[in-house]
Amino acid sequence: MSDVPSLRRLLSGALIALASVAASSPSQSQSQSQSQSQSQSQSQSQVRSLSIGLSSDVTSMDPQWNNSGPNVSLAAHVFEPLTMTDRNGRLIPGLATSWRAVDPLTWEFKLRSGVRFHDGSELTADDVVFSIERPKTLQGSPASFASFVRPITEAVAVAQ
């Protein structure tokens, strides 16, 4: 029953979130007034935000700096991996549309086209190689991701 503590934590968090929403909810007329003014200011400045509730503080937005629960949870909402898992634990495409074992020690990933970074630059195979190599180079990380990539002896970008 190792799921019981995590279920309790989840339910406690949900109850706290509901209580804080209920406690902070303005009356209906206040809510309508606030909603109208928020819509006006948002349409003027096009400001958008994302709020994510976590059980502990995030210590870094760098997805490879600290392998801690809150950091990994936040990174899952912001960054996309090559592959993901579905609810049954099967691998599904992420940034990679397909992958195959070339031989017992070599994997080839085909990247999804049209993926862009926040600055508009396109994702390339060189970016993936960089992301695989980088954790091994970070000095002073409190909980390194290097152990996940250390078994990879070489990552090579193949021109298409």
Question: Does 10 score more than 70 pLDDT?
Answer: no
The Cα-based distances of 126 to 12, 93, 159 in angstroms read 44, 19, 10
What's the pLDDT score for residue 74?
A: 87
d(CA 18, CA 54): 14
Output 151 or 27, whichever has higher pLDDT.
151
Report the length, in residues, of the chain: 160
Residue 121, pLDDT > 80, answer yes
What local confidence, expressed as pLDDT, does residue 2 receive? 44
Q: Pick from 156, 160, 151, 159: which is nearest to 102 by CA?
A: 156
pLDDT tens digits along 43-89: 566 888 878 787 889 999 899 999 999 999 889 888 999 999 999 99
For residue 49, the model assigns a pLDDT of: 86
What CA–CA distance (Å, rounded) separates 135 from 125?
A: 17
Write down the pTM of the prediction: 0.65
Tokens of 18: 């509901």
Task: Compute CA 32 distance to the chain's CA centroid, rounded to the nearest angstrom.
Answer: 33
CB 72 within 8 A of CB 145: no
Residue 123 pLDDT > 90: yes
For the chain, what is the largest distance between any 2 Cα atoms, rounded to a whole number of angstroms? 66
**How many angstroms separate the CA atoms of 16 and 22, rounded?**
10
Residue pair 24/32 in contact (Cβ under 8 Å)? The answer is no
pLDDT 10s digits, 89-107:
999 999 999 999 999 999 9
The pLDDT score that the predictor gives to residue 42 is 56
